[in-house]
A and B are shown apart, each in its own frame.
Chain A
Amino acid sequence: MADSSQQVRIGIAEGAVIRRAGQIVTAGLGSCVGLVLYDDVVDVAGMVHIMLPNAPKPDPIHPQKYADTAIAWLYEALLREGARPLHVKAKMAGGAQMFRNLTTEALRIGDRNVQMTTELLHGLQIPVVAEDVGGHYGRTVRFDLPTRVFSIRTARGEERQI
């Protein structure tokens, strides 16, 4: 574990931004998406733990919960911290389908979260430089500044860095 003062943990439907050096962690992503936006020159990065594709109404209490409002929230927060629009890049993980024999539309929410996030980033012209999405397993993710390495750990103990 890194110095705890440098590490920010976010829960479901939460988000955080860090500067200079540190880590943002979110544990147990299932069909949720952990999206990181970072500036590839200035040391500033943020993560949101997205739960659903669309906010049911504008200005929800927790903008970090829905892909549409979460991305807008995170992008604005980064720019306020000094990120430059042309330098902003994305990495994401999650969007699994945990219960595999269920086929109802509601349970394919992982796919829909990934799809909506991808479309919105495309609309903002933010390149997704790496992703680790889908499958039938949970993920704990950690983004590190200044290395900009996104580490993913699964329940089976597999680890990868993107």
Chain B
Amino acid sequence: MSQMELDDLTADALREFGNIGAGHAATALSVLLEGRVAMSVTDARFCPFRDIVDVVGGPEQLVAAVFIRISGEIPGNMFVLFSLGSVDRLLDQLIEPVDSREDYSDLDLSAVAEVGNILTGAYVTAISDLCNIQLNQSVPSVAIDMAAAILDIGLMMTGYDENEAILISTSLAHGQHAIDGHFFMLPDVDGTQTLLSVLRRAPEHG
């Protein structure tokens, strides 16, 4: 697959962005989950949007997705994806432990949406802080279904399937539980280059 070649500076900027966002998210989630939350970035790179389904296990893999629309200087779409195993561990801690979930209640879905909202909020804040630009996020929407079915909306809204998304994979540790989430940001049309250039310039802003 054609992966955008990243020079060292950009790769570092991307990883730094990932770490700062994870830091913000860990702080916010430790309040929600009542306890220390450690968050680490396991991957930070560009990924062609159409390959995202492979990152999460293929087109038919069941995943939970939180979708948030970003407006402002770099408009685009953000997705936070969790495996169902991670979602179950999250809900066990946020609501109550359950042996197995046949289906997800409205309360479950809004809890997942809130966690997605916190994660995207952390990254929106990281971009705003690093790059000194204005971004706003929409209300989160959540869906649990086949990965390809959920993600096609992201392709439609940009109309460019060659578009590269920023992928930040994180692992969140709370007690003995590990919750793995993938965060994707897909700027509209030319936004990826804009975002890349602001991230590269970021160190100069201090």
Contacts and interface: CB of A to CB of B under 8 A. Distances in A.
A32 B150 CA distance: 10
B159 A27 contact: no
Interface in B129-148: 139, 141-148
A123 interface: no
B149 A98 contact: yes
A106 B76 CA distance: 13
The winner among B139, B149, B155 for most chain A CB atoms within 10 A is B149
Given A12-B161, A155-B146, A28 B156 contact: no
Nearest to A13: B161
Chain A contact residues: helix, strand, loop or mixed? loop
A143 to B, nearest CB: 17
Contacts of B149: 28-30, 96, 98, 137-139, 155
A140 B152 contact: no
Interface in A58-100: 65, 96, 98-100
Interface residues of B, number: 27
A28 B143 contact: no
A102 B141 CA distance: 7
Nearest to A53: B156
A15 B144 CA distance: 27
A99 B60 CA distance: 17
Nearest to B61: A28
Nearest to A140: B60
A140 B146 CA distance: 9
B157 to A, nearest CB: 6
A12 B53 CA distance: 11
A138 B146 contact: yes
Interface in B105-159: 139, 141-153, 155-157, 159
Given A12-B148, A99-B142, A138-B149, A28 B161 contact: no
A158 to B, nearest CB: 13
17 contacts: A12-B50, A12-B152, A27-B148, A28-B148, A29-B152, A96-B149, A101-B141, A106-B156, A136-B143, A138-B145, A138-B146, A138-B150, A140-B59, A155-B62, A155-B144, A155-B145, A155-B146
Given A98-B145, A138-B148, 7 more contacts: A11-B50, A27-B58, A27-B60, A29-B149, A30-B152, A99-B143, A102-B67
